[in-house]
Amino acid sequence: MIILGIDTSCDDTSASVLADGRTVLSNIINSQIKLHHVYGGVVPELASREHIRNIAPVVDEALSKAGIGMDQLDGIAVTIGPGLIGSLLVGLYYAKGLAIVRKIPLVGVNHLEGHVLSTLLEDDPPEFPFVALTVSGGHTSLYHVKGLGQYAPMGQTLDDAAGEAYDKVAKILGLGYPGGAVVEALALTGDKDKIRFPRAQISPDSLAFSFSGLKTAVSMYITKWKQSEKQSEVRKEDIAASFQEAVIDVLAQKFLKAAENANVNTLVLAGGVACNKALRQRLTQEADARGMKLYYPRPAYCTDNGAMIALTGHYRILRGERLDHADDVRSRYPIEEIMGSR
Ligand code: KG4
Ligand code: ZN
C-alpha cells in the first residue's frame, strides 16, 4: 500500500510517500523559517499564504523523488489538527481535492499521534507498550502508549512547551527563531552549573510540567546581566547551558517517573526538541542505568514531517477509517479525542 502523507500544521509544508507502512520513499519539507525569522515567531496569516504557494510543488517533489505517479497512490493521510487553522486548511483541502479526483481513501490524522508513532519509521522500532514524551514548540506531554491508537495521557505542561521556552530564551539572547538548535549549539561550550535556574516541580508526584517560571527567571537574569558591570564573569554560553540543564533535569525526572508508574521499560522521545543531543544523551544514560531502553527518531522525523503522518494514516486506512466530507480542521485536538484512543 502506498500512502501520501501531508502536514501543514504550522510553518513547514511537508509531504512524504510511504510504502507498506515501513519504507519512506520520500520526505520533503519546505521550511518557512526565513519568512518568520524577522518576526521572532510564526505569523499565522503569512504561514497559510506560504503553504498555498508551496503545497503543490512539495507534493509533486515528494512523488517524483519517490518515483511514484499520482495514479499509484492507494491513499492520502493529512493532518487535521492540532495546529494553526489557516495552515491546516490548506493541507486538508489540497488532500481532499486529490483524493476526490483520484477516487482513493482519505484519512485525517492527529499531529500528536504522528509524533508519538514517528520512531516506528526507524529500522529498530520500539515495541508496545511504551511511555512517550513528545516535546515540541507547542507540546510537552507524556503518554502511556499501550498499542496503535491507545494513548493514555499521563502529564502535560500547564503553561509553555519546552520548545517554546527554548525559542523565548533564544529571542531574549538575540539569537532569532526558532531557538532550539542555536541555544543547544551555544550551550556546548557553556558551564551548565554556573547558574541554578528553577526546576518547577508542581508537587512531588505530579507528572505535569511548567516552563513559564523558568522562562521568566532566565529573562530576568538576562536583563540584570546586561546591565551588570561584571558581564564578563558569566557568558551567554553559560546562560544557555544552565537553562538547558534545568529543562533536561525536569524532562528526565518526569519521563523516568512516568515509565516507573506505567511499569514499562521502553521510553520513546519525539517532537522537535527530541533533536537535542544533550537531552538524548542524558535520557539514554538514565534509561541504561535502570535497565530501560530509550528510542528516538532521526532529526528529520523529530521535527514536523509528512512521513509520520503517512505512517499514522497507513494503519488508520487499514482499519477502515475515512475522513467524512463534513470533518473539519481543529486548532485544539487532544490525542485522547481521536478514534480508538483510551
Ligand atoms: O515538532 P516541531 O518541529 O514543531 C512543533 O510541532 O512545534 O518542534 C519545533 C520546536 C521549536 O520550538 C524548536 O526550537 C525546537 O523544536 N527544537 C529544539 C531543537 N531543535 C528544534 N529544541 C532544543 N534543541 C534542539 N536541537
Ligand atoms: Zn509537531
Q: What is the pLDDT of residues 20-73, one digit of tens each?
A: 999 999 999 998 887 877 777 788 888 899 999 999 999 999 999 999 999 999
Reported as a pLDDT band with limits 50, 70 and 90, residue 230 is low
Q: What is the pLDDT of residues 252-280, one digit of tens each?
A: 999 999 999 999 999 999 999 999 999 99
Query: Does 135 share its domain with 111?
Result: no
Cis peptide preceding 126, ω within 30 of 0:
no
Pocket test for ligand 1, best of 36, 157, 303, 333 (most atoms within 8 A of CB): 303
Query: Does 235 share its domain with 148?
Result: yes
Domain with residue 153: its CATH number is: 3.30.420.40
- The CA distance from 20 to 7, in Å, is 19
User: How many independent structural domains does the chain possess?
Assistant: 2
Query: Does 62 share its domain with 164?
Result: no
Amino acid symbol at 325: H
Q: What's the CA dihedral at 324, 330, 332, 335 to 10 degrees?
A: 30
Please give the helix or strand (H or E) that residue 115 lies within, else none: helix 111-117
**Which of 296, 312, 332 marks a domain boundary?**
296
Query: Does 162 share its domain with 234?
Result: yes
Q: What is the pLDDT of residues 188-218, one digit of tens each?
A: 999 999 999 999 888 888 999 999 999 999 9
What is the CA(11)–ligand 1 centre distance, in A? 12
Query: Does 88 share its domain with 134?
Result: no
Query: Does 66 share its domain with 165?
Result: no
- Structural domain containing residue 317: 2-116+301-340
Query: Does 109 share its domain with 199?
Result: no
- pLDDT at residue 342 greater than cutoff 60: no
Query: Does 58 share its domain with 191?
Result: no
Q: Is the C-beta atom of 82 inside 6 A of ligand 1?
A: no
What is the CA(319)–ligand 1 centre distance, in A? 31
Reported as a pLDDT band with limits 50, 70 and 90, residue 178 is confident
Query: Does 336 share its domain with 305?
Result: yes
Q: Which of 217, 124, 132 is nearest to 169 (CA)?
A: 217
DSSP state of 151: E
What is the CA(256)–ligand 1 centre distance, in A? 21
Q: What are phi and psi of 119, to 5 degrees?
A: -65, -20
DSSP state of 72: G
- 13: which residues sit within 8 A by CB, 6+ positions away? 29, 30, 32, 50, 51, 54, 55, 58, 91
- The CA distance from 40 to 179, in Å, is 9
Query: Does 291 share its domain with 147?
Result: yes
Cβ density class 3-34: b for 16+ within 10 Å, e for less: bbbbbbbbbbbbbbbbbebeebbbbbbbebee
Q: Which of 279, 307, 306, 308 is nearest to 294 (CA)?
A: 279
Q: Is the C-beta atom of 180 inside 6 A of ligand 1?
A: yes
What is the CA(296)–ligand 1 centre distance, in A? 14
Query: Does 93 share its domain with 175?
Result: no
